[in-house]
Amino acid sequence: MSTTFQLDTSTSRANPTPAPMKRLTVPAIRSRKQDGQTAEPIVMLTAYTARQAQLLDPHCDLLLVGDSLGQVIYGLPSSLPVTLDMMANHGAAVVRGSYHAVVLVDLPFGTYEASPEQAFASSSRLLKETGCAGVKLEGGEEMAATVSFLTRRGIPVMGHVGLTPQAVNVLGGYNARGRSEAEAAKIVSDARALAEAGAFAIVVEGVVEPIAVAVTEAVPCPVIGIGGSARCDGQVLVTEDMLGMFERVPRFVKRYEAIAEVISGAAERYAGEVRARTFPGIEQTYQPR
């Protein structure tokens, strides 16, 4: 699906939110960290649909179309089966629903690791088909050449180190990383390699807090934490986790709502009214004039 479709105010159920405005840029995000300091922390959330993007956009600097959509939207067991088609479709929806935030789309497993050329083909497709501003990819030193290749060809890249969910089969699970000295040193050197290769920002996920701080202090570009530290340059959460959509709550998630209860309560009341024939009522039916 192409991004050439725009939200149409005459047919959309929702008003554009906020009013169309100048979008933030990747250089603007990068320059929020100056001389190792970020005066205003960077706010990032995941988004997968146009309406969700509309609601989050006014509050966020970055919207990430994460490959977490595999589990969150599609009910898959991990992010590994996520395809480039899925990312392109959801990426285009999120760009359509947003006016303010920088939109980034995750490169899914198997679409970039083989070579810089493969990564360029996948990333350029995402930029063309969605209108997103850049991509995120997982991995450290081994991805540095790819980050440099993409960046020098006009594709901004956000790195992702620490717990990298696409490597779950190598890591053996989703446990916090950086508990041994060797692992901690590797995470910091991975982040340095990505920053030197041109990554404009780096996600550090699921690491013990001192490592999140060490990574933040080690690189000149912004570091966005998830299961990291409040001392990172910004934070990201999976929106559905933050909204309380799921029963399982990882330690690093704070629930700001209990949306699952809201949805299931509404469905229960609706079902009761349908069965009692009290819905639709007079207000919801068309009467002869």
Please, what is the minimum distance in Å from the beta carbon of residue 103 to ligand KIV?
A: 13
Please, what is the minimum distance in Å from the beta carbon of residue 106 to ligand KIV?
A: 5
Amino acid at 13: R
Q: By C-beta, is 12 or 252 nearer to ligand KIV?
A: 252
How far does CA 279 lie from the centroid of its chain?
38
Q: How many CA atoms lie within 13 A of 49 on its CB side?
A: 9
Is 196 designated active site? no
Please, what is the minimum distance in Å from the beta carbon of residue 205 to ligand KIV?
A: 6
Report the DSSP beta bridge partners of residue 64. 46, 104
Q: Are 243 and 256 in contact (CB under 8 A)?
A: yes
Q: How far apart are CA 79 and CA 68, in angstroms?
A: 6
Q: By C-beta, is 173 or 281 nearer to ligand KIV?
A: 173
Neighbours of 55 (CB within 10 A): 16
Residue ranges binding ligand KIV (CB under 6 A): 46, 64, 66-68, 106, 203, 205, 226, 236, 238
Q: By C-beta, is 65 or 208 nearer to ligand KIV?
A: 65
**Set 129, 138, 205, 240: catalytic member:** 205
Please, what is the minimum distance in Å from the beta carbon of residue 240 to ligand KIV?
A: 10
Q: By C-beta, is 47 or 92 nearer to ligand KIV?
A: 47
DSSP assignments along 37-97, one per residue: EESSPEEEEE--SHHHHHHHGGG-SEEEE-TTHHHHTT--SSSTT--HHHHHHHHHHHHHT
* Catalytic residue numbers, as ranges: 205
